[in-house]
């Protein structure tokens, strides 16, 4: 998605490196397990999480606008009630 938004390869590699370098450990009955690497996804305390959410939301918005422009999407009626 960030590639489609015009980010250069260097930025994309940096973002991927931040995501792929994460490792965690789990407390089991109060004792920590060995660390293991995350395969995908972000931890809740990762400072990139809100930033990446906004980038993906912006990308999705643009995809929906384009789909509407070329008549692939007409919208959704939530309710026929008028107030």
Q: What is the pLDDT of residues 24-65, one digit of tens each?
A: 778 888 888 888 777 666 666 777 778 888 888 888 888 888
Answer whether residue 79 is part of any domain. no
For residues 49 and 35, the answer to whether their CB atoms sit within 8 Å is: no
| pLDDT at position 27 | 87
Q: For residue 36, is it within any domain?
A: yes
Q: Is residue 30 part of a domain?
A: yes
Using the predicted structure, report yes or no on whether residue 67 has a pLDDT greater than 80. yes
Q: How far apart are CA 9 and CA 2, in angstroms?
A: 9
Instruction: Tell me whether residue 59 is in a domain.
Output: yes
How many domains does the structure of the chain reveal?
1
- Whether 76 is in a domain gets the answer no
Decide if 64 is inside a domain.
yes
Instruction: Please report whether residue 81 resides in a domain.
Output: no
Q: What H or E segment, with its residue span, contains residue 20?
A: helix 9-20
Question: Bigger pLDDT: 10 or 23?
Answer: 10
Q: 29 is written with which tokens?
A: 């009955």
Residue 10 confidence class, pLDDT cut points 50, 70, 90: very high
In eight-state DSSP terms, residue 39 is S
Q: Which two tokens stand for residue 37?
A: 């690497």
Does pLDDT of 7 surpass 70? yes
Q: 25 lies in which domain range?
A: 9-69
CA distances from 71 to 58, 61, 68, 74 (A): 20, 15, 5, 7
In a domain, residue 82? The reply is no
């Amino acid at each position: 998605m960030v590639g489609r938004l015009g980010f250069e390869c260097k930025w994309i590699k940096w973002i991927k490196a931040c995501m792929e370098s994460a490792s965690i450990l789990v407390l089991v009955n109060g004792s920590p397990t060995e660390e293991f690497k995350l395969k995908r996804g972000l931890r809740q305390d990762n400072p990139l999480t809100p930033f990446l959410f906004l980038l993906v939301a912006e990308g999705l918005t643009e995809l929906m606008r384009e789909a509407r422009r070329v008549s692939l999407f007409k919208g959704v009626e939530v309710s026929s009630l008028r107030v």
